[in-house]
Chain A
Amino acid sequence: MAKNNKNILPLTGSQAVAEAMRQINPGVVAMYPITPQTPIVETFAKYHSDGLVDTEIIRVESEHSAMSAVLGASASGVRSMTATSSNGLELMHEVVAATPGMRLPVVMPVVNRAVSSPINIHCDHSDSMACRDLGWIQIFSETAQEAYENTLLALRLSEKCLFPSMVMQDGFITSHSVENVEIFSDSKIRKFIGKYTPKNPLLNLDKPLTYGPLELTDYYFETKFQEAEGFECIIDEYTKIGKELSEVTGNNYPLFEGYKIKDAEAILIVLSSSAGTAKEVVEKYRKEGKKVGILKPKLFRPFPYKEIYKAISHAKVIGVMDRSMSRGAFPPLASDIKIAINTHKEGKKIPDVASYVFGLGGRDLFKKDIESIFDSLLNNKYNITKIDYIGVRK
C-alpha cells in the first residue's frame, strides 16, 4: 500500500529479487527449496498462482536437476532462471560448470550461505566463491534494492555477452531483512529488459544444432579460449547496460562503489552487506580526522583489476575483508586485490595489502571489529604475509 509518490515497499532481499523475476517473466523457472533462498521461489510461485507471470514452473527433485532443467530450457530458447544457496549450489556444480561452455544466458540469484560441514544456515560467501572460476558473471549486492536492480542488469548483460550470471546477496542479513525497496514501473522495466530473441535456439528445425558436443584434444581448448575472449567485453557492457538502467532508475551502476576513498590513507575492501556497516565506521572516523575509506566491489567476475587499481593505488595501506577462505592460500578477494596492485603498478610505489577473514557461518561483524581493523592499518600493526581472522575464538 504505497502512498508515497515513488513505489517504495517494505521488502526483504528475497522478495525484492522475486519482484525482478516477476518483471522478467522468464519462460522457465526451476525450483528447489534451500534456506535462505527459499523465499525467492516461494514468492515467485505466489506470483505464478496469482497469474502475474506466465512462466512454466518446473518443480524438481534436487538442485542438480534444477540447473539441468534451466540449462535445457535456456538452450531451447527461452529466458530461464533458478535460485539457490550453499550446498544447493554445490550439488548443482557439475551443471553450473557446463552452462558457460554452451554460452547460455541463465540468470541465477544466489543467497550466500556457508557450506557444510559443519551444517550452518547463515551467511558467508564460500558457496559462490567455489564457483568463481567457472565462467559465470558474478555480481554482489549490498542491499535488497541492489539485489533487485542487479538481477535486472545481469539479465541484459548475460544476454548481450552470452554468459550466465549469478547475483549474490547475503543470507538472512539481506535475504530476510525487510528494507525500503523502490520497485520501478513494470512498463519501464520491461522496456529495459526487452523482448528476448535467442541467438541459437535448439528448437529451430531450420537450423539444427548440437549443444554440449564432445570436443577432445582437437577443439576443447579453442572453446575455452573463446570463453576467455568472450569474457573480455563484459566490463564495458556492464557499464553500458548500467547507464541504460540508470535512465530508468536514477541509480548508478559502477563496477565498484568507492566511499570516501579519494584522499584515503587506509582503504578497506569488502563485499555485500558488510560494506554498509563499514561506511558508518568511515563516517565516524572521518569526523575524527582519520583518512579512511571503503571500496565495495560489485562486479566480481570478471574482476575489474585496472579500474580498482586506479581507485586505490594512492593509499598507504589496503585492508581486504573476505567472508570466505581458501585453505592454504590468501582468500579470493585479497588475492584479486594483490594481483590488481602488482600487475598495474608500473614501477610505482604500491600500498601494502593486509588480508582479513571474517563472518564465517554468519558470525556477527560489529562496527568495533571494523574499527579495530582500521586502527591496525593506520598504526602499522598489520602483517602482509599473514591472514588475520576477525571475531574468532583462537
Chain B
Amino acid sequence: MLQIRIHGRGGQGAKSTSQFIAETAIEKGKEIQAFPEYGPERSGAPVASFVRIDNKKIRTHEAVINPDIVMVLDETLMENVNVTLGLKSNGILMVNTEKTKEEIQKEVLDFDGDIYTIPATKISLEQMGQNKPNTAMLGALCRLTNLIDIEVMKEVVKEKFEKKIGTENTKANLKAIEIGQKSMI
C-alpha cells in the first residue's frame, strides 16, 4: 500500500490534490482512499490531506501515520509544521521550492530518505498567472510512482477543471502538469 500525505495551506488545494491522485489511481483499477484532515477551516492555515493506494481492498480507516511520500505545497509551512513526522526513513519528501535539495535537507536534518524539489509556484505563475502549485506537483508525483499515470492524470484534471475554470485555464494547468513532471530535481 502506498500512503501519501499532502501539506498545504487552506485554499491551496491540498484536498483536491489528494482527490486527483485517488481518481487517477482508480482509473487504473486500484483501490483508493483520499481524505482531508479536518480542523477549523481557515484560508491560509496549515492543512493536510491523505491518500492510500493499493491493489487490494483498503479496510483500515486509521489516520495515515507513516506515509511513503510527503508532498509540501508551501515551503513556508516547514518553519512551523514537522512535515517529515512519521515519514518512512526510506520515504520521499517532495517540496515546492526554488531552493536546492541541500538547502531543504538542512531544514529536515533527521530525515534520511530522498528529497525532490519542484519550482511549482514558479511554474504556476508562468502558466496560469496564479500561485496554484498543485498541478505542477501532481505532474512531478507521476514520476515517483507507477501507480498513477500522467496521461490519466491529465484526463482527470481536464474533466474536473473544464467546467469550473474554462478551457484556457485548464490548458494552462495541463501544461503545468507536464512541466512539473520534467522540472523535478
Residues of A at the B interface (CB closer than 8 Å) are: 1, 3-4, 8-10, 121-122, 170, 172-174, 176-180, 273-274, 276-277, 279-280, 364-367
In the bound complex, residues from chain B placing their C-beta under 8 Å from that of A274 are 61
Assembly CA distance A276 to B61 (angstroms): 6
A36: nearest chain-B partner, CB-CB? B38
Q: Are A276 and B60 in touch, CB under 8 angstroms?
A: yes
Task: Report 6 cross-chain contacts, Cβ distance below 8 Å, ordered by A residue.
Answer: A173-B35, A178-B35, A179-B33, A180-B32, A280-B62, A364-B63
- A69 to chain B: closest CB distance in Å? 30
> Which of A1, A9, A122 makes the CB contact (< 8 A) with B159?
A1
Interface class of chain B by DSSP: mixed
Q: Are B26 and A10 in touch, CB under 8 angstroms?
A: yes
In the bound complex, residues from chain B placing their C-beta under 8 Å from that of A179 are 32-33, 58
Are A10 and B63 also in contact (CB < 8 A) when A1-B156, A172-B38, A180-B26 are? no
Are A178 and B62 also in contact (CB < 8 A) when A10-B22, A121-B38 are? no
Assembly CA distance A178 to B50 (angstroms): 10
In the bound complex, residues from chain A placing their C-beta under 8 Å from that of B22 are 10, 178
- What 14 additional pairs, Cβ within 8 angstroms, besides A276-B59, A277-B61? A9-B26, A10-B19, A177-B35, A178-B19, A178-B33, A273-B61, A276-B60, A277-B59, A277-B62, A280-B62, A364-B62, A366-B65, A367-B60, A367-B62
In the bound complex, residues from chain B placing their C-beta under 8 Å from that of A364 are 62-63
Assembly CA distance A28 to B159 (angstroms): 32
Q: Are B38 and A178 in touch, CB under 8 angstroms?
A: no
In the bound complex, residues from chain B placing their C-beta under 8 Å from that of A176 are 35-36, 38
In the bound complex, residues from chain A placing their C-beta under 8 Å from that of B29 are 4
- A113 to chain B: closest CB distance in Å? 11
Whether B23 sits at the interface, judged by CB under 8 Å, is yes
- A230 to chain B: closest CB distance in Å? 35
Are A177 and B62 also in contact (CB < 8 A) when A1-B27, A8-B26, A10-B23 are? no
- B28 to chain A: closest CB distance in Å? 9
Among A173, A178, A279, residue most surrounded by chain B Cβ atoms (within 10 Å) = A178
Whether B155 sits at the interface, judged by CB under 8 Å, is yes
Whether B34 sits at the interface, judged by CB under 8 Å, is yes
B12-27 vs A, CB cutoff 8 Å, 1 = contact: the mask equals: 0000001100110011
Whether B31 sits at the interface, judged by CB under 8 Å, is yes
